[in-house]
Amino acid sequence: MPIDFEIGGVYLPPIAQALLLAVPLLIAVLWLLQKLGVMQRVWHPALFEGALYACLCALIILYMGS
């Protein structure tokens, strides 16, 4: 079971840890997709990025639970 981390006197629950960890992963994945040309084929880039962020958060949370 994931534990709470304390950073500067502020406790971060596991969900906040997953949300923060997903940001650099999202940036890396978006950079890779941009280099591969996938983002040129996406109909609504902002919607795609939001959905990708939600998927990354869900995967991190599932990984933390096991």
pLDDT tens profile 17-28: 899 999 999 999
| pTM for this entry | 0.85
For 22, the domain range is 5-65
Residues present in the chain in total = 66
Q: What is the pLDDT of residue 33?
A: 97
Number of structural domains the chain divides into:
1
Letter string b/e over residues 47-62, b meaning 16 or more CB atoms within 10 A of that residue's CB: ebbeebbeebbeebbe
- In a structure prediction context, what are the per-residue pLDDT tens digits for the chain, which is 66 residues long? 567 778 788 888 888 889 999 999 999 999 999 999 999 999 999 999 999 999 999 999 999 887
